[in-house]
Every structure is written in structure tokens, then in C-alpha cells.
Amino acid sequence: MNVEFLTAELPALHGFFTRNGGVSTGLYASLNCSLSGADDPDVVQQNRKRVAEAMGVSLKNLCGLKQVHEATVIHVTTPWAIGAGPPADAMITTQRGIALGVITADCAPVLFCDDAGACVGAAHAGWRGALLGVLEATGMAMRSKGAVGIRAIIGPCIQQQSYEVGADLRDAVLARNAAHSRFFGPGISAEKWQFDLSGYCAARLASVDIPASILPRDTFAEEQKFFSHRRRSLRKEPVLGHQISVIRTL
């Protein structure tokens, strides 16, 4: 099976990869791309090699990070050793032949590109990273390298109908901007809310004049397509796979 990925309107080669088309087995089946889990590292490397080939780069030029739910952005000029990415949640590059990859399992993968396809970025945006400003920071980093006409695509993530949250998350978001109450709907349970993560990410990008489109695919609900941390947690499954989203310059 070929690796499966979704694309959108961006002037750069990119893909929001699903969980299909890899060689992992069991709960990791099949295109698990996380190097930090308990999946066989050699198998994960085979999966990532398939992703790299789909993006037209070598495996060593597919760069990833140690994602920490913060707002640090790395400017990639040369690839690092596989698995040796720095702690951060976003990257940008202007270098040809380098692909940027972020892994997710409910958080939002956000891919950025300027109007020439010459400067690209990739960000992992959970609610904490989005609240801290990782998306705005990615856009600012690209602009510091001369990027103009930046646009973004918010890829598959947990959607509002599946994302029930508590008062701690809601309070943290509203403490920064009370107008963002519009991203919280009534919860399924009492004293809970349904949070629109992708809409929130789009609003944060709009605040710095970066238009964003949303691929409204629900990682929680679409089990045959995506890994999901929340689905795993509710089922009390022992392990979790991650999909990858990748972009590279033209």
C-alpha cells in the first residue's frame, strides 16, 4: 500500500499523512512516524523513509523535533541526525531539499508557505502551544527571512464535536482574550465545553495577517485514517501512534 496523504492549496510540496501505508503493526498500524514511542525504531524509520520518498527527499533530510508544547521556532539550515531534533514545536526553512515534519495525534499540524514557495514552515499546535503563540512565532520567523504572502493550512486534528474540555483549558484561553469564548460550545457533560481547536488556531493566525484554511478532518472520529490520543486514553490502550505532516520548498 502506498502512503496516504491529504493536500491543500499551497505553492509548495506538502502532505498531511494519514495512518495508512506503513509497516507498523498492532496499535501502531500502520504509518506510525513517532520516534519517541515504544514502536520498533527500525520499523518507524521505514515508515519515515516512505514519507520522505513521497516528498522527494532522502530520509536524512526529513527533519523533526522533540515537541514540547511551547512556542520555540527553529530555523533549519542543515538537517540534523535522525532523532536528534531540538526541543521545539515549529520549524522554518528556505533550503531546498529539506523537508519539515511535525507529528500529531489530535493536536493541529499547521503548514506554512510564502507566495513563492521559497520559505516554508511547520508547526505542532496543541492548545498549550497555540495559546503560547507558536503559530504567530512561526509566521514572524518566516517574515524575518523575507517571506511575503504567507498562508497556512490547519490539518487534521480533533474537531470541536469530539473535543470536550474542562474549566482549566477554557479559563486559560479566556484569560488571554475573552472574545475567544466563541470557540467554546456547550459540553456533552456538565461543567464541560466543546473546544474548536482548528478555529482557534485560524483566529490566532488571522491576528497576524496570515490567512489560514482548515482541513476539517476529525482525528478522534476517523479511526481508519488517524491516530488519536483522546481515543487511546478513553479506551485505556497502552500505546499510541502518531501521524506526520510534512512540507518542503519548491
Residue 103 lies in a domain: yes
Residue 166 lies in a domain: no
DSSP state, residue 124 = E
**CA 36, CA 38: separation in Å to the nearest integer?**
7
Number of Cβ within a 10 Å radius of residue 165? 16
Mean pLDDT score, 202-214: 98
Give me the residue label for grid cell 502512503.
3
Residue 81 lies in a domain: yes
**CA 108, CA 201: separation in Å to the nearest integer?**
8
Mean pLDDT score, 37-55: 97
DSSP state, residue 66 = B
Assess whether pLDDT exceeds 80 at residue 212: yes
Number of Cβ within a 10 Å radius of residue 203? 18
Assess whether pLDDT exceeds 90 at residue 1: no
Residue 167 lies in a domain: no
Which residues form the domain of 19? 5-159+196-248
* Tens-place pLDDT, residues 152-162: 999 999 999 99
Residue 169 lies in a domain: no
pLDDT value of residue 191: 92
Q: What is the count of structural domains for the chain?
A: 1
Residue 102 lies in a domain: yes
Residue 143: give its domain's CATH number: 3.60.140.10
- Provide the residue type at 21 as one letter: G
Residue 201 lies in a domain: yes
Assess whether pLDDT exceeds 80 at residue 67: yes
Positive or negative torsion for Cα 159, 86, 90, 54: negative
Give me the residue label for grid cell 485505556.
236
pLDDT value of residue 250: 83
Residues in the chain: 250
Residue 182 lies in a domain: no
Give me the residue label for grid cell 487511546.
232
Question: 3-state class of 91 per DSSP?
Answer: strand
pLDDT value of residue 126: 97
